[in-house]
Chain A
Amino acid sequence: MRLGLATSKSRPVREVVRPEPRKDERKDQSMTDHAVHDRIRKTIEGNDVVLFMKGTAQFPQCGFSAQVAKILDHLGVPFKDVNVLEDTALRDGVKSFTNWPTIPQLYVKGEFIGGADIVREMFEAGELHALIHDKGIPHTTHG
């Protein structure tokens, strides 16, 4: 480093233009994907029930997200809502993380349960309630 500073007067351009930055940029990009997936993993591991949704539980901004939030409310299941509209990296990241093209996405105990269609189907068949019950998630409705 000291050598660089000492010689910078004689050839300042060479000091600035290095071949490394490109490689670093690429590394940064994959680090970003990594970081988002890490965040998602931590979120689903740190919360029993997580709903990645458009909008919030209070103010859903998409009919499909609203429907799943409503089902969870109906079952009296507390859940962590994650608004993907607040974060483009997260919105794309959760799709690649789950290999699922759409939002909402419901996770229970770290396991992907499904999107709006599957959650509705499971709810109507009583399977969602059974799953919540079997996983030992506290909820207010019974049977």
Chain B
Amino acid sequence: MPMDAREIERLIKARFPDAEIEIRDLAGDGDHYAAHVVCSAFQGKSRVQQHQMIYEALGGRMGEALHALALTTAVAKASSKD
């Protein structure tokens, strides 16, 4: 059950309006995505918590309609350590 990349972005934006979201369609099949989300709300959260916040924003679609969403997250405006 494929899901449109814009729909993924819309759902995340709805919860985290200031999030910067980059979505790539990995296989060109509308079913395997990689998303990179940069958001100030991630401040002070562990990586696991950051991913849980995104999964929550996706409202249970992760693991269901969305089988393959490779997720990476980063805190916005963090003093860069990279």
Whether A99 lies near B63 (C-beta < 8 A) is no
Q: Total contacts A to B, CB within 8 angstroms?
A: 29
Set of chain B residues within 8 Å of A95, measured between Cβ atoms: 63
Whether A100 lies near B47 (C-beta < 8 A) is no
Is B14 among interface residues, defined by CB-CB distance under 8 A? no
User: How distant is B72 from chain A, measured CB to nearest CB, in Å?
Assistant: 6
Set of chain B residues within 8 Å of A101, measured between Cβ atoms: 55, 60, 62-64
Is B48 among interface residues, defined by CB-CB distance under 8 A? yes
- Judged by DSSP, the binding face of B is mixed
Q: Which residues of B63-82 have CB atoms within 8 Å of chain A's CB atoms?
A: 63-64, 70-72
- Judged by DSSP, the binding face of A is mixed
CA distance A118 to B71 in the complex (A): 8
Whether B62 lies near A118 (C-beta < 8 A) is no
User: How distant is B61 from chain A, measured CB to nearest CB, in Å?
Assistant: 9
What is the interface size of chain B, counting residues whose CB is below 8 A from a CB of the partner? 12
User: How distant is A140 from chain B, measured CB to nearest CB, in Å?
Assistant: 26
Partner of A118, one of B48, B60, B63: B48
Partner of B47, one of A99, A102, A116, A121: A121
Is B43 among interface residues, defined by CB-CB distance under 8 A? no
Whether B55 lies near A117 (C-beta < 8 A) is no
User: How distant is B33 from chain A, measured CB to nearest CB, in Å?
Assistant: 12
Is A59 among interface residues, defined by CB-CB distance under 8 A? no
Set of chain B residues within 8 Å of A100, measured between Cβ atoms: 48, 52, 55
Is A114 among interface residues, defined by CB-CB distance under 8 A? yes
What is A's interface to B at a CB cutoff of 8 Å? Answer: 95, 99-102, 112-118, 121-122
Would you give 14 A-B contacts (Cβ < 8 Å), ordered by A?
A: A95-B63, A100-B48, A100-B52, A101-B60, A101-B64, A113-B48, A114-B48, A115-B51, A117-B51, A117-B70, A117-B72, A118-B47, A118-B51, A121-B47
Query: Could you list 19 further interchain pairs (A-B, Cβ under 8 angstroms) beyond the known A95-B63, A118-B47?
Result: A99-B52, A100-B52, A100-B55, A101-B55, A101-B60, A101-B62, A101-B63, A112-B48, A113-B48, A114-B47, A114-B48, A114-B51, A115-B51, A116-B70, A117-B51, A117-B71, A117-B72, A118-B48, A122-B47
